[in-house]
Structure 1
């Protein structure tokens, strides 16, 4: 990715080192409720500690001791810390430019989200978030939450390295904000109130796949505006989308795949919708709610 000379977004709130910790009685799986990649982080944590991920995903069992969670996270060196913040701020700025342009062409105004960097845990309007929750978007305060330790997990646990893979994560969460801006999250939330668990899961899959499609649109529009892609970047993004498919994670953690429990979509679906946004660059093509073929 060519980000040298790109501006940094002013909408980054850095709470790292602010003492958020785990001192408020533990967190809740916000990533699952608020939309994002939180389920992935929960599975990774379970695998790391040798826990059956189905226990965590079903809400049962006990969380790992807090001391274990804390020790599993290496504190970044100052120069690494600054580099991570700069990267996140630059990627966020590209999402602001891309979506502002897209909204402007439709005679709408785009209000970008704030992105909160945290380490260990922090408070959000959706509840107390811990590192194990992973990146997520909270529609209640219109903020994206990210512990950059998740980037290391992507590379080491999921085999999804590279800057563009990391940028895809940010763009996916911003995609949920775009859904919020367009009123999609509100309408889907109302519709899910009368659904059973299986129907609700299926609706959540459509939310996540649309956010993947929006991430593809971000990449396409940013490439048009800034020519920021380098050889291998698209493949890196596709690899990241495939790595966080529900089927791949379930097969890795349980050895079996249960499609009716999917909340984010299969690897093939995530790749397909990311490609749809990337190749079309058109929001109208990201209608995951109006198709029978996901």
Structure 2
């Protein structure tokens, strides 16, 4: 992905204990040396196997409160927030800026609305959010209460080292997917899914969750379509990196790796094939009208 030398977003808040770290290669090698200790992705797998939502790890329901400007790391020391200065952080900032440019234009020209840009918070280990305490174990997540995105960048090490889904555009796909959840909040798709909790069966709720996640994958594809069309960001192999990441985090593949078999009624994010399909559909069409995953029987 062509990102160096391009403008980053002003909506990135760096809460990491230090802003060090190296760059990363075309296939994602060296995107930071630190791991998640217990293995954040494994915890997410366990939650999905139980038919749950990884956001449940955050410590409770959304409170609607504000996120503090200062936060504590695991050593109980405080660190100032600011803009990232390392390669990983600056890359994330550039990707976020690209999403802002794409969605501002789509909202203005196709939806006749303003696009409220989300803030992206980089953190290490744990951090405060309006949805409770955010943890690396959840992987990247979107908090609807404060409408911010939270990422511990060591997640991308897990994605590469544990699942073989590295690369800068694989990371960009993950970021764009979380922005997709922000789009859903603005268009009230996520509000609809949340309103059904306790009113439908667990199996039906899981199905709605799958549709929500696949739509976020679609929106990530729409972003890729226009980011390349307008800025020429893609390099050879980038789309393959995104599809490889989508394939790596499909419910069926994760469950098969974790326990040797799948339980389709417990899926909450979609199969590998579904995730690749909807990302690719967004990328190929760039048409947000074709991304209503709630009105199709062909997931």
TM-score (norm 2): 0.79
Q: Is 1:10 the counterpart of 2:7 in the alignment?
A: no
Aligned residues of 1:214 and 1:274 also touching (Cα < 8 A): yes
Equivalent residue in structure 2 for 1:244, among 249, 252, 258: 249
Aligned residues of 1:209 and 1:265 also touching (Cα < 8 A): yes
Runs (4+) of structure 1 moved beyond 3 Å? 53-59
Equivalent residue in structure 2 for 1:235, among 218, 234, 240: 240
Aligned to 1:98: 102
Check 1:196–1:56 CA distance in 2 against 1; reply closer, same or farther (3 A cut). closer
Where do 5+ consecutive residues of structure 1 fail to align?
19-40, 48-52, 64-69, 71-79
Considering fraction of residues, name the structure with more helix.
1
Instruction: Work out the CA distance in 2 between the residues paired with 1:183 and 1:8.
Output: 28
- Secondary structure of the 1:157 match is helix
Instruction: Work out the CA distance in 1 between the residues paired with 2:286 and 2:259.
Output: 36
Instruction: Work out the CA distance in 2 between the residues paired with 1:54 and 1:92.
Output: 28
Q: Is 1:185 the counterpart of 2:190 in the alignment?
A: yes
- Secondary structure of the 2:134 match is strand
Check 1:54–1:220 CA distance in 2 against 1; reply closer, same or farther (3 A cut). closer
- Secondary structure of the 1:116 match is strand
The structural deviation recorded for 1:4 is: 2.4
Report Cα offsets for 1:179-205 as digits up to 9, x if no partner: 011121112211334012111001000
Check 1:128–1:42 CA distance in 2 against 1; reply closer, same or farther (3 A cut). same
Check 1:81–1:134 CA distance in 2 against 1; reply closer, same or farther (3 A cut). farther
The structural deviation recorded for 1:6 is: 1.3
The structural deviation recorded for 1:46 is: 7.9
TM-score (norm 1): 0.80
Aligned residues of 2:123 and 2:151 also touching (Cα < 8 A): yes
Where do 5+ consecutive residues of structure 2 fail to align?
19-38, 58-73, 75-83
Aligned to 2:144: 139
Alignment size in residue pairs: 250
Report Cα offsets for 1:98-147 as digits up to 9, x if no partner: 10111111221111100010001011111111111110000000000000
Query: Aligned-residue CA RMSD in angstroms?
Result: 2.2
